[in-house]
Amino acid sequence: MSDIPISTADQSSSGRPPAVMQVLPALVTGGVERGTVDTAKALAKAGWMSYVVSAGGPMVRELERAGARHITLPVNSKNPFVMRKNTARLEELIRSLPVDVVHVRSRAPAWSARAAALRCGVPLVTTFHNAYKSHSWFKKFWANPMSKGDIVVAISDFVADYANSAFGVPRARLVTIPRGTDLVKFDPNRIYPERMSNLQQQWRLTDGLPVILLPGRLTRWKGHTVLLRALKILAERHDGKQDFTAVLLGSGRDGYRAELESLIVQYRLDRSVRIPGDGKDMPAAYMLADVVVSASTFPEGFGRVAVEAQAMGKPVIATDHGGSRETVLPGGETGWLVKAGDAKALADALDEALHLTPERRMEIAARARRHVSENFTVDAMCDAYIKVYTRLLFPEHR
């Protein structure tokens, strides 16, 4: 954890531990939420006062068990009148708790959180969790408060470059902090056989057939249709044989799911492709996979799937753009990067991944897990955030 001594709190005029308030829409599930909770827990463990403001959700309990405090406000609202009330309430909280640093992680609450921080004269940290669209004046206007932090954090160099070029965030205010993966949770040695057996039954897997896993919401830009075209090419290349099972793990709009199911039948893949819904035990899901695919057609800001899969020692095929260029070692080192939307290139990479020798597979597994442990851990992420807060509060520790 952070090497910044907590005794720095004694140098403030208040003589109390420093206090950070993170603000985000809700605590349901996802990378933004996970990063918020992990950071809040790390702050509490380090002796800081740790507050989180959101509309609530199932992750609140985990947060409070760790010693952080949750405050429920409708900061997920995009209603201007509600946002104005949120500003007044956040200002009241900053003054009464009191709060030393405000850290906002999403566009809607950024309007209220920034205004409240300015009124109270406290530093503001913002985190760009993606390359927010700026092709229309309104989208750029909506995301603009995220560019106004005293320090602007980006979850990858790709996102940092975008914040600089599209929103004019000066390099001096930009810091890249990659998302962190929990290497205790995502540890191949901690997955009991019954966890895998349960999923095996749910997915109706056939013993001996390799598993291709694409985790992600059922939404078009995640590239499910590209994978289905690649599987069709793969089957045709091997005289119609489908020596694999592909699992599209996630939920989404019923209309899009119906479209995928129609394509599966059209491509004659109905015996080989499963759409089982959400994955509640992702470490076990990765363990069942022989190769994990991230086929996103729009650049991912970071690409959590690729990192989690590597933590589990699995080879990854990802699209060659966005954060994947920073998380996957290409050319078969820990995986492959393929052109977005290119079904043939994806089929070629799948062919190679599915025919790895056991020795090569073991080499990739060891290299992939080492790559994550050296670059993308929860501890490293939390340590970096605490250093950002400290830099704002105690400049002498820069």
- In the chain, domain spans: 6-180+377-397, 188-375
How far is residue 128's CA from residue 132's CA, in Å, rounded to a whole number?
8
DSSP-derived letter for residue 381 is H
Residue 288 three-state SS: helix
Taking only the tens place, the pLDDT of each residue in 81-123 is: 999 999 999 999 999 999 999 999 999 999 999 999 999 999 9
Give 60-72 as a DSSP string: HHHHHHTT-EEEE
Q: List alpha helices for 97-186, DSSP H.
A: 107-120, 137-143, 157-167
Give the C-alpha separation, 336 to 192, whole Å. 29
Strands (E), 223-298: 245-249, 273-277, 291-294
Cβ neighbour number for residue 137 with a 10 Å cutoff: 8
Q: What angle do CA 74, 131, 91 make, to 5 degrees?
A: 30
Question: Which 3 state secondary structure label does DSSP give 277?
Answer: strand
pLDDT of residue 398: 55
pLDDT of residue 15: 81
As a CATH number, domain 188-375 is: 3.40.50.2000
Residue 172 phi/psi, 5-degree rounding, is: -65, -25
- Looking at residue 133, its pLDDT comes to 78
Query: pTM for this one?
Result: 0.90
Q: Report the distance separating Cα 320 and Cα 325, nearest Å.
A: 6
Residues of the chain with pLDDT below 50 are 1-11
Q: What contacts 24+ positions apart, CB below 8 Å, involve 82-88?
A: 83/108, 83/111, 83/112, 84/112, 86/112, 87/111, 87/112, 87/115, 87/116, 87/119, 88/116
C-alpha separations of 92 from 124, 361, 365 in Å = 16, 56, 51
Instruction: Give CA–CA dist 153/143, Å, rounded.
Output: 14
144/173 Cα distance (integer angstroms): 15
Beta-carbon neighbour count of residue 316 at 10 Å? 29
User: So what's the pLDDT on residue 3?
Assistant: 46
Which residues 6+ apart lie within 8 Å of 189 measured at CB?
none
* Of the candidates 182, 240, 247, the residue with the CA atom closest to the CA atom of residue 214: 247
HSE, side-chain direction, 13 A CA sphere, residue 220:
3
Asked, colleague to colleague, whether 6-180+377-397 and 188-375 share their fold, the answer is yes
Residue range 23-73, pLDDT digits in tens: 999 998 888 999 999 999 999 999 999 999 999 999 999 999 999 999 999
For the domain spanning 6-180+377-397, the CATH number is: 3.40.50.2000
Residue 29 is predicted with a pLDDT of 80
In the numeric block, which tokens belong to residue 370?
């080492």
Dihedral sign from CA coordinates of 276, 279, 280, 285: positive
The answer to whether residues 218 and 256 touch, using CB atoms and an 8 Å cutoff, is yes
> Coil, strand or helix: which one is 125?
strand
Q: Which of 45, 37, 42 is nearest to 63 (CA)?
A: 37
